Structure 1
């Protein structure tokens, strides 16, 4: 699932989904991405959701992680197997692949939704 980079969280980004959010609780290593239309409007991740990503947090088992694939930032579920990480797309488990910790651009630490259906 593709995500769109919005910028570092410490830059004071203003967005309706962040109203009432205490941005000071996040580390300076955090940045924002917005979930693309590939997510649709049903499920735990929806089009337009904002994700706070910590670029220094190491990926663990069952984390949502951001990885650059073919020039695009994409969202995956991580599955640790020993010292390796298997990346599984959140919408289609058939496209999984092995990765190294160095391939991970960040770990999702929070999610904000503008609208509740």
Structure 2
């Protein structure tokens, strides 16, 4: 699924989904993305969710990772196998692709939902 880059995560950042978050708990290497509309409205990650992504954290097995593919930042579930990572789409066709750690733009370390259902 597509994610939209919102910028570095800095103290004082204003967004409805971040109300009550202590932004100082995150590393300076973190940035914020918003999940695109192709995510839909059911499942663990839905349209409009904000994800805190740490670009310095190495991906481990079953992490959600952000990868630049075809000119867009996209969210995948990563399965680490040796020194490579198998990227499995979170929505859509289930064709997976291989990546190296250097291909990743970061690992999701937190999720905030704008609206509670």
TM (normalized to structure 2)? 0.96
Consecutive aligned runs of 4 or more in structure 1 exceeding 4 Å deviation: none
Could you say what the CA RMSD is over the residues aligned between the two structures, in angstroms?
1.1
Residue 108 (structure 2) pairs with residue 108 (structure 1): yes
Unaligned runs of 5+ in 1: none
Distance 1:103 1:36 in 2: 21
Q: How many residues align?
A: 117
**Gaps spanning 5+ residues in structure 2: where?**
none
Per-residue CA deviations over 1:51-81 (Å, capped at 9, x if unaligned) read: 0000000011000000000110000000011
Q: Secondary structure at the match of 2:108?
A: strand
Preserved contact between residue 7 and residue 13 of structure 1 (Cα < 8 Å)? no
Counterpart of 2:53 in structure 1 is 53
Q: State whether residues 34 and 50 of structure 2, in contact with CA within 8 Å, keep that contact through their aligned partners in structure 1.
A: yes
Tell me which protein shows more helix as a share of its residues: 1
| In 2, Cα distance between equivalents of 1:112 and 1:94 | 25
1:35 equivalenced with 2:45 (yes/no): no
TM-score with structure 1 setting the length: 0.96
Tell me the secondary structure at the aligned position of residue 42 of structure 2.
Answer: coil
Q: Secondary structure at the match of 1:38?
A: helix
Please list the CA deviations of residues 35-66 of structure 1 after superposition, one character each: whole Å capped at 9, or x if unmatched. Answer: 00001111101100000000000011000000
Q: Which residue matches 1:87? A: 87
